[in-house]
Structure 1
Amino acid sequence: MKGCVLHGLGDLRVEEVETPTPKEGEVLLQIKACGVCGSDIPRVFTKGTYRFPTIPGHEFSGLVVQAGEGVDPGWIGRRAAVFPLLPCRKCASCEIGEFAQCEDYDYMGSRRDGAFAEFICIPIWNLVAAPDMLSYEELAMVEPAAVAVHALRQAGIGIGDQVLISGAGPIGIMLALWARAWGASRVLLADIDPAKLDFAVGQGFPDVCNPLQSDIQKWVYRLTGRGVDVSVEGAGSAVSWENCLKSTRNLGKVVLMGNPTGGMSLTQDGYWEILRKQLTLSGTWNSSYSDIPRNEWKLAVDYMAAGKLDLKPLISHKLALEGVYEGMVMMRDRQGFFNKVMYVNSNESIKVEKDK
């Protein structure tokens, strides 16, 4: 089969590799779509994976084409999203179903081979079955959709809440869609990229702000009267974090989600915001893949199938396997507007449009 193999920093090659064979309890999945996550960019160009060579890619879906020993053959021919984390099942976190907190996990696309390829073997436990009405491209976005809803659940968002999302990238937009679906009375988005804000407006979120051009605190208070009930920091910058603190009402909640791009220092005034307002700060990491209290992956599939969560408009680029590296360069160098960039194993693949 063909795969995008990372041999070293920046050295991603499409080449022939051995097609894997499913072991006991596994299936062979024909990969149909795999999103390029923002975390894939430093993984490929600056930080590396945990070993070389490695096939990256962890936001994916596909078609079950072969069942290993002990797997119900009824899985063959079914489409599924894939939870890419493989927990140890021995540590204290695994014992209570908090698999994202596993102390000795494996992970597809960084610690073991991932989905920028034509096939992959998947343990049956990691498959999230989906109805045929959902496209493979939609199912490849279940992973970021689950990450987004997990962040909102940390805040305990309630009906009528006003929500600020700082960072209007793909997961930021997904956060906004989830918040609206869950009954938020107003969803505000902030970003320093005008193209992202324009896209957000096009998705039905007119309340947007560029912090480089406006005082975000004054803007938020003008719209809400007292500040938002919940803010989510999704940009991974200290300025974004402080903007969230300043924009949240007394006794409000701030969720920290963005992967930091550097040091996350806080000014004295920012620290005072936490103290004087008695803000509740929560971190969020990955997603919940346990039925206790709720499997957020299945929740995302259910919301998509019910038409409550439409993620199709977020796909800005569909790439053939040979175009994945070029797509990553485009994202790294910000050569044009992009939202969700995706490898699609079909005839729908198109070349990267750098001015799109």
Structure 2
Amino acid sequence: MESLAFYGIEDLRYEEKEKPKLENADDVIIKVKYSGICGSDLSRYKKLGPLTPGNIFGHECSGVVEETGSNVTNVKKGDRVAVCPQLKCGKCEACKAGYFAACENLLVIGAKEPGCFASYTRLPAENLLKLPDNVSFDEAALIEPSSVVLHGLFKTQLQPGKTVAVYGCGTIGLLACQWAKLFGAEKVIAIDIDEEKLSVAKELGADEVIQPDKNVSTYSKLMELTDGVDLAVEAAGSAQTSEEVFAAPKKGGEVLFLGIPYSDITLKRFYFERIVRQELTVHGSWNAVSAPFPGREFTTTLQFLKEGKLKTQPMISHCISLKEGPEIFRKITTGREKAMKVLFELDK
């Protein structure tokens, strides 16, 4: 089968791999229809390298059930499915408490286990969600990143009438803008250096946008629009925004970290004092799963896709073949091509 295998930093190869086989009675083989590039994939490709050299990369996907183990009852051959790519151990204290996001041995396919940048992938049956007829495969490939956003927002006090600032308008930030409006936020302010991404943010629900520049601070621009927001979401994963996000909330407000900076973070006194003097609540959010597994993050996303309330198409900037994978990774990480959500289309 065709695949993208990750061998080292900036070393992603399109090559033939053996089709996965059922190993456990609860296993399911999925014929992949669409798989998406996550921002974390780009960072690992450029900066960190693979956990298992030569492993099939990728963890966001949708597909069709190809084969099932003897104990599988929730899906059958031919079912259209979305995938939860997180693999919990089920044995540690966190898992026993139903706190699956804190599983001591939590894995995501595409890291140590084969991922979904391939014609086929293998997962436990409990990791699959059957798709309603009106939810397309390309929409379903974005269920996992949407669930990442919801996992964080569910920790906050976000409710109707609140104000929200979102720093960074990649896939996660754009989904955060949408979900904030779906939660009933009165005003959502999107912040990004890319004018095209800000345009998409407005299309997906942002009421105001801020494009940072060297002459006027983002904080000043934000204060022209509001006297402080109830919730500030860091979705860029940059050192700069991980500091600036503390300036956005009003007294008693909240900060939610969804982005993952791959560098050290320092806080100027002004930003640190905002945490203390504004009595901010700061949330860290990791992964997308909860109890009952895979969690309400996934089922809520699926419900809102089914009802047509969550929009994913405007975020999809590329839909390409798997063979084009190594080149698109090179282009994006070297700045030669701009992209929002890149999907690989398989089994055309």
* Pairing partner for 2:217 from 200, 215, 219: 215
Structure 2 residue matching 1:39: 3-state secondary structure: helix
- Distance in 2 of aligned mates of 1:230 and 1:282: 10
Higher RCO, Cα 8 Å, sep 6+: 2
- Distance in 1 of aligned mates of 2:272 and 2:12: 43
User: 1:32, 1:63 within 8 Å by CA — same for their partners in 2?
Assistant: yes
User: 1:220, 1:228 within 8 Å by CA — same for their partners in 2?
Assistant: no
Alignment of 1:156-305 (within 5 A): 156-213=157-214, 214-224=216-226, 226-291=227-292, 295-305=296-306
Per-residue deviation, 1:97: 1.6
Which residue of structure 1 aligns with residue 10 of structure 2? 10
> 1:136 is aligned with what amino acid?
F
- Distance in 1 of aligned mates of 2:270 and 2:111: 39
User: 1:50, 1:110 within 8 Å by CA — same for their partners in 2?
Assistant: yes
User: 1:22, 1:122 within 8 Å by CA — same for their partners in 2?
Assistant: no
Alignment of 1:6-155 (within 5 A): 6-23=6-23, 24-72=25-73, 75-155=76-156
User: 1:142, 1:301 within 8 Å by CA — same for their partners in 2?
Assistant: yes
User: 2:243, 2:266 within 8 Å by CA — same for their partners in 1?
Assistant: no
- Distance in 2 of aligned mates of 1:233 and 1:204: 17
Per-residue deviation, 1:292: 8.1
User: Are residue 341 (structure 1) and residue 318 (structure 2) matched?
Assistant: no
Greater shift, 82-91 or 196-205, is seen at 196-205
Deviations 1:140-198 (A, max 9, x none): 10010001111212222011100000111111000000011110000001112223223
Per-residue deviation, 1:337: 2.7
Structure 2 residue matching 1:155: 3-state secondary structure: coil
Greater shift, 144-153 or 159-168, is seen at 144-153
Per-residue deviation, 1:79: 1.1
Structure 2 residue matching 1:44: 3-state secondary structure: helix
- Distance in 1 of aligned mates of 2:335 and 2:133: 35
- Distance in 2 of aligned mates of 1:247 and 1:31: 41
Structure 1 residue matching 2:154: 3-state secondary structure: helix
Which residue of structure 1 aligns with residue 309 of structure 2? 308
Q: Gaps (5+ residues) in structure 2? A: none
Which residue of structure 2 aligns with residue 354 of structure 1? none
Per-residue deviation, 1:73: 8.4
Structure 1 residue matching 2:151: 3-state secondary structure: helix
- The change in CA–CA distance for 1:74 and 1:153 in structure 2 (over 3 A counts) is closer
- Distance in 1 of aligned mates of 2:293 and 2:56: 32
Please report the TM-score for the alignment, with normalisation by the length of structure 2: 0.94
- Distance in 2 of aligned mates of 1:301 and 1:246: 34
Greater shift, 198-207 or 174-183, is seen at 198-207
- The change in CA–CA distance for 1:292 and 1:343 in structure 2 (over 3 A counts) is closer
Per-residue deviation, 1:327: 1.4
User: Are residue 320 (structure 1) and residue 321 (structure 2) matched?
Assistant: yes
- Distance in 2 of aligned mates of 1:40 and 1:4: 12
Q: Gaps (5+ residues) in structure 1? A: 348-356
Per-residue deviation, 1:291: 2.8
Which residue of structure 2 aligns with residue 352 of structure 1? none
Per-residue deviation, 1:9: 2.8
Per-residue deviation, 1:315: 0.6
User: 1:319, 1:327 within 8 Å by CA — same for their partners in 2?
Assistant: no
Deviations 1:40-78 (A, max 9, x none): 123233312211210000011110021122223852111
Structure 1 residue matching 2:289: 3-state secondary structure: coil
Per-residue deviation, 1:261: 3.2
Which residue of structure 1 aligns with residue 330 of structure 2? 329
> 1:241 is aligned with what amino acid?
S
- Distance in 2 of aligned mates of 1:85 and 1:204: 29
User: 1:168, 1:197 within 8 Å by CA — same for their partners in 2?
Assistant: yes
- The change in CA–CA distance for 1:244 and 1:8 in structure 2 (over 3 A counts) is closer
